[in-house]
């Protein structure tokens, strides 16, 4: 579900890996390399310092937790449920906050991310799906090759979605476009804020460096791999209570760090639902955030599946029937 394209989110025509403008292709590869490699190097340095110092200051871990939760909420509540699927409505300023937080995760500009993800649902596990572990550029992938492609490889070479075709509703939102075009500002802000927090909470240059490493590099490494695990692992292993014409699965071990994204088979079955964890025990922090916003009047038209639709689809899947993703949800 991650995107990595032109840093400004500019649209390109779908052209396939080889048909892409060479300049855009280089920009895509640079962005993909930067987000994969630089945070990984920073994370290794953070671990090296921790080993040398014999531990990590509690404040650095708090900075990591807070920055991770905020920016991952930007991904799952903002880019995914709000922008890509329009699963609920909220105020203009909260849309802006979620867009900025989502951009801070450095997985591509907000609108591009949403466009790319819509293509994933339209073309799930078929040619044109940007990050299926099954197929890429018309070629069937082996198991490990498919895992690598869905986890990271696709970011270097996927077919960019045409944002003006796929996400016209979002490109018409001028405030959102303004934020989108300043994508790199927000990525930088996502590094500056934890460094400042570190300087204040831990102290001095050392505090700033630790804040940057834990709230920047380690956070980005974790959010990159957990987000892409939804592209890879939850299209490879796990349970499929709703079946569907795709390989999506539910995978409980990563439900907590993905703030509910791991209920991915549920999500493919009911893509416009704001709620991914459909059972009480299916931990879905993204849903709890939306539900809380709804309770205080900051979210409305919150879509969730009809109970009869859930039971009908579950029964159909248990009977071995192929069921399409549908939108039988209520507002």
**Min dist. Cβ of residue 142 to Zn ion (A):** 20
Nearer to Zn ion, 95 or 134 (CB): 134
Residue 158 per-residue DSSP state: P
**Which run of H or of E encompasses 329?**
strand 329-330
Report, in Å, the least distance between residue 32 CB and Zn ion. 20
- Minimum CB separation of residue 80 from Zn ion in Å reads 6
Q: Which of residues 170-209 bind Zn ion (CB under 5 A)?
A: none
| Minimal distance, residue 288 CB to Zn ion, in Å | 18
Burial of 1: CB neighbours in 10 Å, binned 0-12, 13-18, 19+: buried
Distance between CA 282 and CA 195 in Å, rounded? 35
* Among the residue ranges 61-69, 184-192, 241-249, 277-285, the one whose residues contact Zn ion (CB under 5 A): 241-249
- Closest CB to Zn ion among residues 130, 215: 130
Return the range that interacts with Zn ion (CB under 5 A); candidates 87-95, 147-155, 240-248, 290-298: 240-248
Q: Which residue is nearest to Zn ion (CB)?
A: 248
Residue 251 CA to residue 253 CA, distance in Å, equals: 6
Provide, rounded to whole angstroms, the least separation between the CB of residue 117 and Zn ion.
5
CB nearer to Zn ion: pick between 227 and 248 = 248
The residue among 151 and 248 lying less far from Zn ion, judged by its C-beta, is 248
Measure the CA–CA gap between 191 and 211, rounded to whole angstroms.
Answer: 9
Q: Which of 276, 209, 213, 283 is nearest to 249 (CA)?
A: 276
Shortest distance (Å) from residue 2 CB to Zn ion: 12
If the CB atoms of residues 210 and 290 are measured against Zn ion, the closer one turns out to be 290
| CA 38 – CA 47 distance, rounded (Å) | 14
> How far apart, in whole angstroms, are the C-alpha atoms of residue 74 and residue 54?
33
Please tell me the total number of residues recorded for the chain in this structure. Answer: 331
Distance, in Å, from the CA atom of 38 to the CA atom of 188, rounded to the nearest integer, reads 13
Which residues in the 242-271 window bind Zn ion by CB under 5 A? 248
Report which DSSP code applies to 277. Answer: -
Of 221 and 248, nearer to Zn ion (C-beta) is 248
Distance CA 316, CA 307 (A): 14
Longest CA–CA separation in the chain, Å:
63
Residue 85 CB, nearest approach to Zn ion (Å): 6
Is 25 or 235 the residue whose CB approaches Zn ion more closely? 235
Residues 229, 119: Cα–Cα separation, whole Å: 18
Question: Applying CB under 5 A, what is the total number of residues that bind Zn ion?
Answer: 1
**Mask 130-149, x = binds Zn ion (CB under 5 A)?**
--------------------
Binding site for Zn ion (CB under 5 A): 248
């Amino acid at each position: 579900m991650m995107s990595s394209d032109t840093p400004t989110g500019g649209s390109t025509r779908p052209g396939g890996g080889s048909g892409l403008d060479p300049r855009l292709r280089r920009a895509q590869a640079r962005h993909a390399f930067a987000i994969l490699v630089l945070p990984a190097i920073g994370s290794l340095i953070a671990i090296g310092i921790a080993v040398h110092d014999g531990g990590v200051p509690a404040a650095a871990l708090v900075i990591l937790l807070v920055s991770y939760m905020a920016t991952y909420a930007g991904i799952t509540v903002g880019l995914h449920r709000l922008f890509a699927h329009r699963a609920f409505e909220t105020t203009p300023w909260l849309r802006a906050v979620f867009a900025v937080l989502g951009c801070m995760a450095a997985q591509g500009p907000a609108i591009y991310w949403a466009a790319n993800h819509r293509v994933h649902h339209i073309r799930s596990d078929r040619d044109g799906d940007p990050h299926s572990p099954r197929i890429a550029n018309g070629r069937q992938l082996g198991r490990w090759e498919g895992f690598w492609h869905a986890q990271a490889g696709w970011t270097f070479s996927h077919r960019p979605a045409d944002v003006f075709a796929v996400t016209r509703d979002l490109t018409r939102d001028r405030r959102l476009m303004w934020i989108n075009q300043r994508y790199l500002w927000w990525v930088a802000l996502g590094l500056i804020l934890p460094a400042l927090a570190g300087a204040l909470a831990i102290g001095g240059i050392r505090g700033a460096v630790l804040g940057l490493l834990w709230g920047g590099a380690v956070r980005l490494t974790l959010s990159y791999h957990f987000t892409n695990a939804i592209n890879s692992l939850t299209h490879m292993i796990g349970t499929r209570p709703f079946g569907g014409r795709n390989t999506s699965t539910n995978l409980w071990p990563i439900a907590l760090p993905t703030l509910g994204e791991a209920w991915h088979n549920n999500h493919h079955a009911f893509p416009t639902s704001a709620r991914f964890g459909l059972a009480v025990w299916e931990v879905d922090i993204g849903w709890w955030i939306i539900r809380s916003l709804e309770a205080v009047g900051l979210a409305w038209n919150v879509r969730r599946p009809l109970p009869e639709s859930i039971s009908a689809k579950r029964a159909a899947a248990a009977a071995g029937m192929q069921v399409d993703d549908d939108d039988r949800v209520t507002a």
